[in-house]
Amino acid sequence: MQLTKHSNGLLSIYFTAGYPTLDSTVAIAKALEEAGADFLEIGFPYSDPVADGPTIQHASEEALKNGMTLKVLFEQLKDLRKHVSIPVYLMGYVNPVLQFGVENFCKACAAVGVNGTIIPDLPIYEYEELYKTVFEENGISNIFLVTPQTSEARIRKIDDLTTNFIYLLSSNATTGKNLEVKDQAEAYFKRIKKMELKNPFIIGFGISNQDTFQKATTYANGAIVGTAFVKLLGEENYSEKIPAFIKSIKGKTNHRVQ
């Protein structure tokens, strides 16, 4: 279950653990795999999600009210691999991880079959100096983020540290903004592609429909849908709508991570 440079047209779905109900996490993950998602990002909620737009902020608030914590999440995920075979990444902010304990967190991820983590506010130097060994000893990939303002030297550094894929932010905006592939963004995507990085990269932020998904996957190995799916989870009978939602993004293609 590894993304590679040859992966293409991959769709990742982000959703917040504990939303819309405390115990919905694994059922949603299972439904997404069955519907054709290629890999998943399960968000662990935090009270101050600075990079998230209002939809995901609301989901985090509701999940916290429902009682979601990292301890609860790992308890829920203990049977994850009985139901879900595609790659799964945990995404959230560093504060809950530090409170849980980085080594405990990595061991818990490994125990339940999580492939890696995406922690946007974990500085690279802290990861490299303090935590890299712990992550590697437990077989957990830490996914780094690149923005339009990231220097080439930093991108090369990220590529060297990466053991899975690089998360390419479409912009510096919060989540939920529509992807607009204008000249500036197109030049950014082309610049990254021309660097011929060792690792595959996935575009996130602003992917909400088939048009934006296809634009993103023209330049990257895949794309991530978050806000649009979290909105769906706020609707009645959301589980029945998941297959149609995935089809509306991917069309007829159905890739799988090998």
Q: Decide if 4 is inside a domain.
A: no
Catalytic, out of 33, 52, 75, 152: 52
Q: For residue 256, tell me if it sits in a domain.
A: no
In total, the chain counts a number of residues equal to: 258
Does 67 reside within a domain?
Answer: yes
| 56 domain-assigned | yes
Please indicate whether residue 48 is annotated as part of the active site: no
Q: Would you call 129 a catalytic residue per the annotation? A: no
Residue 3 within a domain = no
pTM: 0.92
pLDDT tens per residue, range 243-253: 999 999 998 65
- The interaxial angle of helices 238-250 and 25-35, nearest 10 deg, is 40
Domain contains 136:
yes
Q: What CATH number did the domain enclosing 190 receive?
A: 3.20.20.70
Q: How many other CB atoms are found less than 10 A from the CB of residue 1?
A: 12
Bridge partner list, 202: 167, 222
| DSSP 3-state of 145 | strand
Range of lowest pLDDT (47-61, 69-83, 118-132, 164-178) = 164-178
Which of the residues 23, 33, 34, 41 is marked catalytic? 41
165-207 pLDDT tens trace: 999 997 765 444 555 555 577 788 889 989 999 999 999 988 8
pLDDT for position 174: 46
Would you say residue 61 lies in a domain? yes
User: Residue 79 is part of which domain span?
Assistant: 10-250
pLDDT band at 53 (very low <50, low <70, confident <90, very high): confident
Which residue is listed with tokens 């060792």?
198
Q: How many domains does the chain contain in total?
A: 1
What are the backbone dihedrals phi and psi of residue 34, each rounded to the nearest 5 degrees, phi first?
-60, -30
**From CA 155, how far away is CA 188, in angstroms rounded?**
12
In a domain, 214, yes or no: yes
Beta strands 166-169 and 145-146 are parallel
User: What's the rounded Cα separation, in Å, for the pair 134 and 154?
Assistant: 22
